[in-house]
Structure 1
Amino acid sequence: MLDLVGVTLIGLVGALSLATVQGQQPPKTIATLVSAVGLGNLSDVTLLEVIAGAAAVLLLAKTIISPLLMVKVFRFLARRQAIVSARLAKALLSCPLTFVQRRSSQETSAALVQGVSAATVAILGQTVVAVSEIALLTVLAVGLLFVDPAVALGAIVFFAIFAMGLQKILGHRISRVGTQALTADIASLSAVQEALGAYREITVADRRLLYVGRIQGLRAEAARASAGLQVLNLLPKYASEGALVLGGFSLAAVLFSTRPVPLAAGTFALFLATATRIMPSLLRLQSAALSIRSSTGPATLTYALSADLGHPLDTPQEGRDVRESVRRILASGHRDFAPRIELRDIAFSYPGGRGTALQGINMLVAEGQSVAIVGRSGAGKSTLADIILGVLQPDSGELAVGGLNPTDAVRRWPGGIAYVPQDVMLSNDSLRANVALGLPRDDVDDDLVWDALRRARLDEYVRRQPDGLDTQIGERGLRLSGGQRQRLGIARALFTRPRLLVLDEATSALDVETESGITDMLEELEEDVTTVIIAHRLSTVRNVDLVVYLEEGKEQAQGSFDEVCERVPALRRQATLMGLRPA
C-alpha cells in the first residue's frame, strides 16, 4: 500500500510540474484530488514540495519496513531449520542400522544439512518473498487501474508476458543445473574422503593421479554447474532492463501521439514511477522463483529422507537433559543394572539379502560372565553382536538385556552398555574429547578419563605428551598408531564404567604384550561386568566362561572353550595350530 500511494504521488508531481512549467492548469482529475485532501490553497511550488516530500517519506518507509520484516521471517525459518534437522537426526539415529546404511554418509549429510536449508530458508523463505512481491504487484496493478485503466491493462499484459516467458525459459534449466551441482558436490566429497582414507593403498599402487583426475573432473562439473547458476540468476536483471526500456519507449510513443502533452507527461511519469517499483519487485519475484527451482534438488533428498522416516514431528530432547542424565549415571554408576543376556530362537535377515544371516540362536549369559562368539568370517558374529546392542532388530525370537529390550536398556542405563568396534571412529579433536565422545568439556570428569586410559593401557603414552589430555590426535586419529587407536576405543568404552561390554575384534590391532594386558584387564572386570567378545584370535577367548561357535548363521556348539573345541573340528585344528591345545 505504501508503494501504491508513493508512486501515485510521484505521478502527480510529474503532471503538476509539467502544467506549472507550461503555465497551464493541471488536469481536472488531479485538481479535484488536490482540493479533496485540503491542499488546494497552496502555491504550485509549495504543493509540489509537499507531494514530493510525502512520496519520498512513504517510499523510504516501505524500503525500511520490508527488509526488517524479511529479517524476522528468515530468522524464524533459520530456527525452524535447526529444529527440522534435529528432528530428522533424532529419528534417523533411532532407526535400525540397516535403515541408516541405506544411504551413503555423503547423501545423508546432504539431506540433513544442505537439504534442510534448501527446504526451509531457501524454498519457504523465497516463497514468502514471492507472496509479498505478488501482493505488491497486485496492489500496484489495482491502483493503476483506477488511475488509468488503459495504461494499467497494457502494463499488466506486458509485464505478465515478460515474467512468464522468462520463467518458462529459465525455470527448468536452473532446476536441472541445481541438481547437477549437488550431485557433483556429493561425488566430489566422496572421492576426497576415499582418497584420504585409502592414502597408503593408493600411494603404493601408484594411483594418486587417478584420484587427482577424478576429483578434477568432478570439480570441473560442479564448477560448470555453479557458473551456470550464476549466469541464470543474472539473466533476469539484464532482461528486465531491456524490457523496461522497450516498454517505456512504446508507452511514450502511444501517449504523446494520442493525448494532450500535460496529461501524457503525467501518465508517463506515473508509469516510470510505477516501473521503478514494479521492475525491482519483478526481479525479486523472478529471483525467488529461480531460487526455489535451484533448491529443489537438495530439498528432494530431505523430503525423501523425511518420508522414509515417517515425517517425524516430535521435538528432540533438550541437550541439557541428556547431559544431566549422563552426569548422574557417571556419578552413581549403574547399580540397578544386572546385565543378564537372554536370546531365544533369534532369527535375522538383511533387507535384500539372500537367506538368513542368523537362525535359531539361543544363548543365556549370566551377570558377570564372559562369552566369546567365534566362527569363520561371514558366520554372523558381528550381526549377533549388533542385535545384542539393539542396533539391529531381530525378525523373530525373544531378546532381553537386563530384563529389557536392548533399546529400552540403553535409555534406562545410558553408558551401561559399551561397544568397541574393530575400526574405531575417532574425531579430529583432543584425547579427552575422544574418550568422552560427545560430552561437552565442562561435563567431563578428568579422573574418569585417566582411569579409562589406565585400564586401556594408554595412560603412560598420554602422560608423555606435552599437552596431556588436550593432545590433538588428528582426523580419524592419524597421529596415533593402529594399536593406540584401538586402545583409545577401549578407553572410550570403559569411560562410562559399563556393566555390559561388547568387543568386536577389539584387540586385532594390538601387539601380543598389549593384547595380554587388555585380556588381563577384561578378566579383572568379570566380577562386575558382563563381556561379549568377538574374535578370530583364540588366545583372546581361551579363558572365557562360554564359547558360542557360529557357522553360516547357525549355532554349531556352545560351552566352555575345550568343550566347543571337541565338538567343532575346525576350531580344534585352529586351537592346536596356535598352541592352545596339545597336538
Structure 2
Amino acid sequence: MLFDALLEILSLHLVPAYVGLVAYPEKLQALLPNTWHLESHDKIVLWASVAIALFFAIKLLVNARIGLARIHFAQQTAVNLSTRLLDAYLHAPHEYHLQHNSAELQRNLNSDSVQLADQLLIPLGDLLSQGAIILAVLGVFLFYIPVDVLAVLVGVLAVAGHAVLSQQHRLQQEGKEVQQLRGRLIKNTNEALGCAKEISLLGRQKFFVERFRDLFSRLTRHQRHIQIMAGRLIPGGIELATIVALAGMIYLLFRQGHNSQEVLELITIAAVGLARLKGSLSGFMGAHSLLEHKRAILDAIHADLAELETFTTMTTDHETAPAFRRELALADVHYRYPGSDHDVLRGVNLVIRKGEAIGFVGKTGAGKSTLIDLIMGLVHPTAGKLLLDSRPLHEQLPAWQRQIGHVPQLLSLVDGTIRENVALGLRPEQINEAALLRAVEQSQLTELVERLPDGLDTVIGERGIRLSGGQRQRIAIARALYHDPEIIIFDEATSALDNETEAEVIRAVDSLKGHKTILMIAHRLSSLRQCDNVYNLERGKIINITHDKSHLTPREGRATQ
C-alpha cells in the first residue's frame, strides 16, 4: 500500500516535469553547470519520452505484482476461513444442526465463502491502497498548489464523499436482504430437487417454480439497487466532483492574478493529480460501498466461528485408553430439545453392560432415536447423568464415540463408489482392504459386489440412487462395521430390507453377540428377537422390559415385501 502511494507520488512529479522539459528546455539548462550543454531539443524530447515510458512500464509491472500478492492473500484467507467454518460445522453439537437449516450452512460454505475473497477481502485491500494513494496525491497538491485553492478541491470532494457515505446504511441493509434471500433460494432448490418424485406425482411443480421465481426476482431487485449505487452513481458523482473542483481551482487562480503560464503549470499538475484522484476516489468509495453491502457475509461467518470453534478442540489427538470396560448407566435422564416446552425423555434409568444385545421398541415419537442420540453423546441430557464405567460420559466422549458403529434410519450416501461409501472419509491409500472385505461380508453385500462389473469400485450415484433401498441399507451397515466398533447401533436398520435379506442381516448380528455390544431400535418386538433385553418406550419413559422373547415369531407384525 505504501509502495503504491510512493509510485503515485513519483508519477505525479514526473508528468509535470516531463511537460515542462518539453515546453521549456531552457529551464533545464539553467539548472545544469555551465560546462554541461544540452543536445538538440528533439533528442531531449526523445530521451525524456523513453525515460517516462520506461518508468510507467515498471510502475505497471510493480502494481500488477502487488495486486497479485493482494489477491492471493485475500483468496488464501477466504480458503482458511471457509475451511475453519466447515471444520466448525462438523464438530458442532447435534443441537446446532437441529436448529439450523442446511441451506444456510451451504450458503455460508459455498456462496458466501467464494464472495468473501472476491467481494470483501480484495475490496478491503483496495480500500486501504486507494486511501494511501489519495493521501499521497493530496500531499503532492500541497507542495505545488496554494492552500486556499486546494481548499476548493478538498471542500468539493468532502461534500461528494458525505453524499456517498450517507447511503452506506441502505447498502448494508440491502446486503443483509441479499444474504437471506440466497439462503432461502438454496433451501427452496434443495426441497424441490429432493422431493422431485413426490412433486411430480402430486403435480405441485407450479408452487416450487413460482416460489423460486419470486425469491430470485427479489434477490435481483436488491442486487440491481446495489449495482446502480456502487457501479454508476458513485463513480459518476466522483467524476462530477472532480470537474467542479478543477473548474473552481482555475477560476480562483485567475482571480488571484496568476498569469496564463503559471495557471497552465498548476492546472497540468492538478489535472494529472485529479485524474488519478478520480480513479482512487471511485475505487475507495466503491470498495467502501461493497464492504458495507457484503459485511453481512463476514458477520455471519464470524458469528458461526465464534460460536462453534470451541468444539473443534474435541479431537482424537489426546485420547487415552479405550473407554467402556464394564457398563454405561443412565440415571434419571431427561431431555428437552432447544426451544421446546416439554421433555422428549422423562426420567430414563438404564444400564447397558458390555457385550449385551439391547433392543428398544415403541411407537413413532416415543423417544427411541433421541435416547440413542444421548447414548452416542450427540446431545446432552437436560437433567440426570450418563456414567461410563462410573465416570461422566462427557469426560470420555471422543474415546466413546470412536467405538460406535451407527446405522441410521435416514441414510446418507456420497456420490462415489461402494468402497468410498463403506470407508467414508478415508483416502484410497488409507483404506484397509481386509477390514473392507470383512465389513462387506458381515453386511451381506458380498453377492451384490460380485455381480457388479466394477465390484467395490462401482459408482452408486447421488444418495445411492442407482441401488435399491435394501442395497443402500446394507452399505450403511458395512460402513458401521468397517472400523470394527465395540458398540453397534441399528436405528431401524432392517426396515428397508426384504424378508430374506433381513434374516441374513439378523444372522450377521447374531454372530456378533458376545463379541460386540449391540443396540437396536424397532417399532415391533419381532425385529428384536436376538436381543437379551428389550425396553419398551412410551412418551419418553421406559414402561416395561422384556426378557423372554421365545414367543415371538420371526415375522410378527411385519408385512411381506
TM-score (norm 1): 0.84
The change in CA–CA distance for 1:55 and 1:6 in structure 2 (over 3 A counts) is: farther
Structure 1 range deviating more: 222-231 or 526-535: 222-231
Q: Contact 1:418–1:501 at 8 Å: present in 2 too? A: yes
In structure 1, what is the equivalent of residue 18 of structure 2? 13
Residues 1:578 and 2:557 aligned together: yes
Q: Contact 2:368–2:537 at 8 Å: present in 1 too? A: yes
Residue type of the partner of 2:163? G
CA distances 1:253-300 after superposition (whole Å, capped 9, x unpaired): 554674212211111111121123212211221221122022123223
Residue type of the partner of 1:166? V
Q: Contact 1:87–1:312 at 8 Å: present in 2 too? A: no
The change in CA–CA distance for 1:308 and 1:8 in structure 2 (over 3 A counts) is: same
Alignment of 1:90-489 (within 5 A): 90-116=87-113, 122-150=119-147, 151-169=149-167, 171-235=168-232, 236-255=234-253, 258-309=257-308, 312=310, 338=325, 340-401=327-388, 409=396, 411-412=398-399, 415-489=402-476
The change in CA–CA distance for 1:312 and 1:342 in structure 2 (over 3 A counts) is: closer
Q: CA RMSD in A?
A: 3.5
- Displacement of 1:414: 6.5
Counterpart of 2:70 in 1: which secondary structure?
Answer: helix
Residues 1:500 and 2:456 aligned together: no
Q: Partners of 1:366 and 1:233 in 2: how far apart? A: 66
- The percentage of counterpart residues that share the same residue type is 27
User: For structure 1, which runs of at least 5 residues remain unmatched after alignment?
Assistant: 566-571
Q: Partners of 1:221 and 1:453 in 2: how far apart? A: 50
Q: Partners of 2:415 and 2:286 in 1: how far apart? A: 39
Q: Contact 1:368–1:527 at 8 Å: present in 2 too? A: yes
The change in CA–CA distance for 1:44 and 1:395 in structure 2 (over 3 A counts) is: farther
Alignment of 1:26-65 (within 5 A): 34=31, 42=38, 45=41, 55-65=52-62
- Displacement of 1:529: 0.8
User: For structure 2, which runs of at least 5 residues remain unmatched after alignment?
Assistant: 1-5
Q: Contact 2:536–2:543 at 8 Å: present in 1 too? A: yes
Q: Partners of 1:576 and 1:436 in 2: how far apart? A: 32
- Displacement of 1:156: 2.4
Residues 1:84 and 2:81 aligned together: yes
The change in CA–CA distance for 1:399 and 1:153 in structure 2 (over 3 A counts) is: same
Counterpart of 1:424 in 2: which secondary structure?
Answer: coil
Q: Partners of 2:101 and 2:322 in 1: how far apart? A: 39
Structure 1 range deviating more: 480-489 or 44-53: 44-53
CA distances 1:16-66 after superposition (whole Å, capped 9, x unpaired): 44446xxxx75xxx999x569x99964684666666555545544443333
Q: Partners of 1:403 and 1:74 in 2: how far apart? A: 55
The change in CA–CA distance for 1:369 and 1:558 in structure 2 (over 3 A counts) is: same
Q: Partners of 1:270 and 1:52 in 2: how far apart? A: 18
Residues 1:511 and 2:508 aligned together: no
Q: Partners of 1:214 and 1:387 in 2: how far apart? A: 38
Q: Contact 2:526–2:556 at 8 Å: present in 1 too? A: no
Q: Partners of 1:149 and 1:339 in 2: how far apart? A: 89
Counterpart of 1:359 in 2: which secondary structure?
Answer: strand
Q: Contact 2:334–2:343 at 8 Å: present in 1 too? A: yes
Q: Contact 1:338–1:499 at 8 Å: present in 2 too? A: no
- Displacement of 1:97: 1.1
Q: Contact 1:369–1:545 at 8 Å: present in 2 too? A: yes
CA distances 1:413-443 after superposition (whole Å, capped 9, x unpaired): 6742111111101112221111111111221
Q: Partners of 1:181 and 1:274 in 2: how far apart? A: 37
Residue type of the partner of 2:507? D
In structure 1, what is the equivalent of residue 532 of structure 2? 545
Residues 1:3 and 2:1 aligned together: no
Q: Contact 1:500–1:531 at 8 Å: present in 2 too? A: yes
Residue type of the partner of 1:207? R
Q: Contact 1:369–1:531 at 8 Å: present in 2 too? A: yes
Aligned length: 549
Q: Contact 1:339–1:368 at 8 Å: present in 2 too? A: no
Alignment of 1:556-571 (within 5 A): 556-562=543-549
Q: Contact 1:339–1:499 at 8 Å: present in 2 too? A: no
